């Protein structure tokens, strides 16, 4: 696996690698969830490009950017072991050159609810950097984790807008043995915070999935099941527990049934804070 830093090195390296290209955009602090993205990418492309870039435009402030975990040496080992061929680790000037304005992308209504409601501008930052990476790498395919449910839908919207036939793949969430979805943020949790998160977040979502499988379709009943688990854990602050149409992210009311979603898919997503660390998780029904 070769590592490149500048745009010129990237295009020179890409010119020598076989197509199709698959891109796995990341912000580093790689874990087994990223390895699953890289492994999935490898099954469908001749060349897997992994980018590591802590994108400042998707964070609220410089402090949050500085606090984001960084582990480049370990990331290189993980990316190579998982099957990446090229690692692109640009600095900010390579992505946002001072003399070449990068147009900001507004993802519209998909970006306004859920994570977007408490992180204004976040998804504009994500869409802008992903579009920029698409321009630089020109992949045939790109791979994103299903856990970041709103992000993957916004990237799908972006790919349609760009109309350059980049296929977006959703890769199933990878969970630790205690059920917690893998996330770079988990390393910021205390031991007790981690236990609290693991015994509530994935449990609440599994209960919803199990109840739905056994025939419960009322949004109000499914919501109550999940809320009971989460409210039993005082160290967890629930920010939202949302049932929305899986395509439009328009919320379903508590009077609705799961089958009322026009797209046929319901996204059940939640965000909760433990130890001041915001965690998200999601499942799709059916």
Contact residues for ligand PAF, defined by CB under 6 A: 25-27, 55, 58, 126, 129-130, 148, 151
What count of other Cβ atoms lies within 10 Å of the Cβ of residue 189?
Answer: 20
Kindly tell me which of 112 and 232 has the beta carbon lying closer to ligand PAF.
112
34 is an active site residue: yes
**Exposed/middle/buried for residue 28 (C-beta within 10 Å: 0-12, 13-18, 19+):** buried
Query: Could you tell me the end-to-end alpha-carbon distance of the chain, in angstroms, rounded to an integer?
Result: 39
Q: Give the shortest CB-58-to-ligand PAF separation in angstroms.
A: 6
Quote the tokens at residue 34. Answer: 């990223």
The answer, yes or no, to whether the previous bond of 20 is cis (omega within 30 of 0) is yes
Kindly tell me which of 27 and 252 has the beta carbon lying closer to ligand PAF.
27
**Exposed/middle/buried for residue 6 (C-beta within 10 Å: 0-12, 13-18, 19+):** middle
Torsion sign over Cα 174, 252, 106, 167: positive
What count of other Cβ atoms lies within 10 Å of the Cβ of residue 178?
Answer: 12
Residues in the chain: 286
Kindly tell me which of 153 and 223 has the beta carbon lying closer to ligand PAF.
153
Q: Give the shortest CB-53-to-ligand PAF separation in angstroms.
A: 6
Residues 6+ apart with CB under 8 A from 239: 118, 270, 271, 272, 273, 278
In what helix (H) or strand (E) does residue 133 lie, and over which residues does it extend?
helix 122-137
What's the rounded Cα separation, in Å, for the pair 175 and 33? Answer: 8
Quote the tokens at residue 247. Answer: 């395509």
List 34, 85, 122, 169, catalytic entry: 34
Question: Largest Cα–Cα distance in the chain?
Answer: 58
Quote the tokens at residue 39. Answer: 């492994």
Kindly tell me which of 26 and 94 has the beta carbon lying closer to ligand PAF.
26
Q: Give the shortest CB-251-to-ligand PAF separation in angstroms.
A: 23
Q: Give the shortest CB-96-to-ligand PAF separation in angstroms.
A: 12
Q: Give the shortest CB-57-to-ligand PAF separation in angstroms.
A: 9
Q: Give the shortest CB-182-to-ligand PAF separation in angstroms.
A: 12
Catalytic residues: 34
């Amino acid at each position: 696996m070769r590592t490149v830093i500048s745009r010129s090195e990237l295009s020179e390296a890409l010119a020598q690698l076989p197509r199709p290209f698959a891109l796995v955009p990341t912000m580093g602090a790689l874990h087994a969830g990223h390895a699953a993205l890289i492994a999935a990418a490898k099954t469908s492309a001749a060349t897997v490009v992994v980018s590591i870039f802590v994108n400042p435009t998707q964070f609220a402030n410089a402090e949050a950017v500085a606090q984001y975990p960084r582990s480049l040496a370990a990331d290189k080992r993980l990316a190579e072991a998982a099957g990446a061929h090229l690692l692109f680790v640009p600095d900010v000037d390579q992505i946002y050159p001072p003399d070449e304005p990068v147009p900001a992308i507004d993802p519209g209504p998909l970006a306004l609810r859920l994570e977007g409601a408490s992180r204004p501008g976040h998804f504009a930052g994500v869409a802008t950097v992903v579009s920029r990476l698409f321009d630089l790498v020109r992949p045939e395919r790109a791979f994103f984790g299903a856990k970041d449910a709103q992000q993957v839908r916004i990237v799908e919207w972006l790919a349609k807008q760009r109309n350059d036939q980049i296929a977006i793949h959703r890769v199933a969430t990878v969970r630790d043995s205690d059920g917690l979805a893998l996330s770079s943020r988990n390393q910021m949790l205390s031991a007790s915070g981690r236990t609290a998160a693991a015994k509530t977040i994935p449990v609440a979502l599994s209960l919803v999935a199990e109840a739905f499988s056994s025939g419960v379709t009322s949004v109000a009943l499914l919501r109550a099941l999940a809320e009971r688990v989460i409210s039993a854990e005082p160290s967890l602050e629930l920010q939202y527990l949302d049932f929305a149409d899986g395509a439009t992210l328009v919320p379903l009311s508590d009077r609705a049934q799961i089958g009322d979603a026009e797209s046929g898919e319901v996204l059940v997503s939640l965000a909760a804070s433990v130890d001041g660390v915001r965690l998200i998780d999601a499942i799709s029904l059916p």
